[in-house]
Structure 1
Amino acid sequence: MTRPLLLVGQPLLAPLLPLLRADHDVIVLWEAHTPGDLAKVDALVWAGEFPLGRNLIDAMPRLRLIACFTVGYDGVDVALARERGIAVAHAGNANADDVADHAIGLILAHRRWIVAGDRQLRAGQWTIESKTRTRSMGGARLGIVGMGAIGVAVAERARAMKMRIGWWGPRAKPNLSCPRADSLEALARGSDILVIAARADAHNRGMIDARILDALGPDGLLVNVARGQLVDEVALVAALRDGRLGGAALDVFDPEPTDPSRWADIANVVLTPHVGGATHEAVGRMAQVLMANLAAHFAGEELPSPVPADG
């Protein structure tokens, strides 16, 4: 019996190859292959944040499934895939709790001066007179942009810390207990901390612009655990340098990897290299979902974790 042929898109997915090869024939995009090889591909395994070009899709006439290993799929033209009769799957909510944990960690690290305090101590600058006052988590006004699985998980954690929670997204969600702001700008204006947890798409690039940053203000903290392209980074850097924004705690950037020189002289930031969802447990769940999506597709069954209908 002929086994399905998979194309694996990025070298970072190489650890999956032994798992995938147990039930499929596999070729990889970063090694030598021919147009004839691509013409035989049945499914594509892809890291969803990377742009998937039309030319590659055109080279695979048999392609019927794009299986994103990742939760995000913003690099995939879902409309084009559906037009071609190609199903698109992703990892669902596999890392939502871990990303939410990381968001809270970034807030704590910045608001409670954990990173800067560590640097001060290591530099031998800790004196009795130099003790810095920080701000409590309890009572802080937290605005969440995007109330999907990650946003909800952030809200659950923030509620336990006695924070006051509001949110904004393009669509109302009546089942949520926390109030939805009238606009993104209104949410920023009424928040001490603004957490970006929205899904990135072609319509919301740069939605956190100078106007939103000014609304958040000189005492406000911007936290981004979603996608770097949701924030106008040029405007963000300018607002931080000018003191129009109090601080930023970022796990994602535009582009990635970010140029470290961009942040070298900005003191009021905490930065991590896109690791919010990269726990052993979350990656294990993502692999399980990927294999389940592939198995269901080739069995002619409903995908366990398809991209949402509005995706």
Structure 2
Amino acid sequence: MTNYAPAPAGAANATATVGHTILQVGPVNPDVQAALTEEFGALRLPEVPEEREAFLDAHAGEIRVAVCSGRFGVGTELMRQLPQLRAVVNFGVGYDTTDVAQAAERGILISNTPDVLTDCVADTALALYLDVLRRVSAADRYVRRGDWTAKGNFPLAVRASGKRVGILGLGRIGQAIAHRLEAFGCEIHYHNRRPIEGSAYAYQPSAAELAAAVDVLVVAAAGGPDSAGLVDAQVLESLGPAGYLVNIARGSVIDEDALVEALVQGRLGGAGLDVFAHEPEVPAELLELDTVVLLPHLGSGTEETRQDMAALTLENLRSFLRDGTLATPVA
């Protein structure tokens, strides 16, 4: 077994070094990519398994910093293969594809890009909320197919204002979503591991009890092992055939098989989904349902937010190379 030395305070061996000490894992934002190549001369981890093995044999002992996205993190096996790794710089707020437990054990620092994407992700949640209740995308398809002329008026939708809405995960993004929904006269309920002191919203002690108390469940919980399958068949049953689900968190938070079954069988009124369990693969059954709105994981996908995320990612990288600290470390 490889012995790993914990990172010393200040990470003295992480001072301004570039080139072979920096590894890009998977595709990243174009601005980050350009800086990694032109400013830092970073290496890129090959995607082909045979090439990756040879690459790691040659370079694994040199790598101090890995730069990745939320989709392509530094997983368990890769982290084990990088004995001198000291930091993982992540583009995105989610870092569940990185082995956080091993990182903590080895003293490896992790950063993400919080706050700068909060508003755009909350906006996406609101767009899904309005779309799935008012059936905007389905109505658009109805017009485009010529059904308005051939079949008459589009079926009635569901009122979006004044609903009881449950937020599963009342963190930064969850609170931004709740704030937007208050403007629609919605009654906000939430579930976290523990109640938030001073919150004006109604706390529910479990995900299932939250679902039973509301008309719409918005999933904004952090991804990772602790939240995997949190929205299971029981939660969906509690939400019921008149209930709606919106997910802008991670596909892993929902039991996707149970969700598909509930939607196909009409035991759930509809769903607005930006994330999926096996992206970019989407269950084929969902493609045929007009009660489901499907987005290609674009929660923070605006030019302004991606520029801000890129800038913060590079700020974290430069900070670590300068003095061994991160601008936005993961607590």
TM-score in terms of structure 2 length: 0.87
* Residue 189, structure 1, aligned to residue 205, structure 2: no
5+ residue gaps in structure 2?
Answer: 1-14
Which of 5, 17, 26 is the equivalent residue of 1:10?
Answer: 26
Please give the alpha-carbon distance, in whole angstroms, between the structure 2 residues aligned to 1:243 and 1:34.
50
Please give the alpha-carbon distance, in whole angstroms, between the structure 2 residues aligned to 1:2 and 1:164.
51
| 1:302 CA drift (Å) | 3.8
Q: 1:130 aligns to what SS in structure 2? A: coil
Letter in 1 for 2:256: E
Residues 239 and 2 (structure 1), Cα distance of their counterparts in 2 relative to 1, 3 Å cut: closer
Residues 212 and 253 (structure 1), Cα distance of their counterparts in 2 relative to 1, 3 Å cut: same
Q: With CA pairs under 8 Å and 6+ residues apart, which has the higher RCO, 1 or 2? A: 2
Letter in 1 for 2:181: A
Letter in 2 for 1:3: T
Please give the alpha-carbon distance, in whole angstroms, between the structure 2 residues aligned to 1:61 and 1:14.
28
| 1:23 CA drift (Å) | 4.0
Which of 111, 123, 126 is the equivalent residue of 2:145?
Answer: 123
Letter in 2 for 1:135: V
Q: Deviations over 1:93-148 (max 9, x none)?
A: 22111111001001111111211111111122215952432222221111100011
Which of 28, 31, 34 is the equivalent residue of 2:44?
Answer: 28
Number of corresponding residues: 308
| Contact 1:93-1:149 at 8 Å conserved across structures | yes
Residues 218 and 284 (structure 1), Cα distance of their counterparts in 2 relative to 1, 3 Å cut: same
| 1:11 CA drift (Å) | 2.5
* Residue 41, structure 1, aligned to residue 63, structure 2: yes
Structure 2 equivalent of residue 232 of structure 1: 255
Please give the alpha-carbon distance, in whole angstroms, between the structure 1 residues aligned to 2:120 and 2:16.
39
Is 99-108 or 117-126 further displaced after alignment?
A: 117-126
| 1:51 CA drift (Å) | 5.1
Structure 1 equivalent of residue 12 of structure 2: none
| Contact 2:111-2:330 at 8 Å conserved across structures | yes
| 1:168 CA drift (Å) | 0.6
| Contact 2:28-2:68 at 8 Å conserved across structures | no
| 1:236 CA drift (Å) | 0.8
1:132-151 aligned within 5 A = 132-151=155-174
Give the helix-richer structure, 1 or 2.
Answer: 2
Q: 1:11 aligns to what SS in structure 2? A: coil
Counting aligned pairs with the same residue, the percent is 36
Please give the alpha-carbon distance, in whole angstroms, between the structure 1 residues aligned to 2:228 and 2:216.
20
| 1:268 CA drift (Å) | 1.2
Letter in 2 for 1:7: L
Q: Deviations over 1:287-309 (max 9, x none)?
A: 1111111122122264221112x
| 1:69 CA drift (Å) | 1.1
| Contact 2:31-2:310 at 8 Å conserved across structures | no
1:93-242 aligned within 5 A = 93-126=115-148, 129-242=152-265
* Residue 299, structure 1, aligned to residue 322, structure 2: yes
| Contact 2:74-2:88 at 8 Å conserved across structures | no
| Contact 1:11-1:30 at 8 Å conserved across structures | no
| Contact 1:293-1:303 at 8 Å conserved across structures | yes
| Contact 2:32-2:314 at 8 Å conserved across structures | no
Residues 269 and 83 (structure 1), Cα distance of their counterparts in 2 relative to 1, 3 Å cut: same
Letter in 2 for 1:109: D
| 1:173 CA drift (Å) | 1.2
Q: 2:242 aligns to what SS in structure 1? A: coil
Which of 265, 283, 289 is the equivalent residue of 2:306?
Answer: 283
Q: After TM superposition, what 4+ stretches of structure 1 lie above 6 angstroms from structure 2?
A: none
TM-score in terms of structure 1 length: 0.92
Structure 1 equivalent of residue 76 of structure 2: 54
| Contact 2:125-2:248 at 8 Å conserved across structures | yes
| 1:258 CA drift (Å) | 2.0
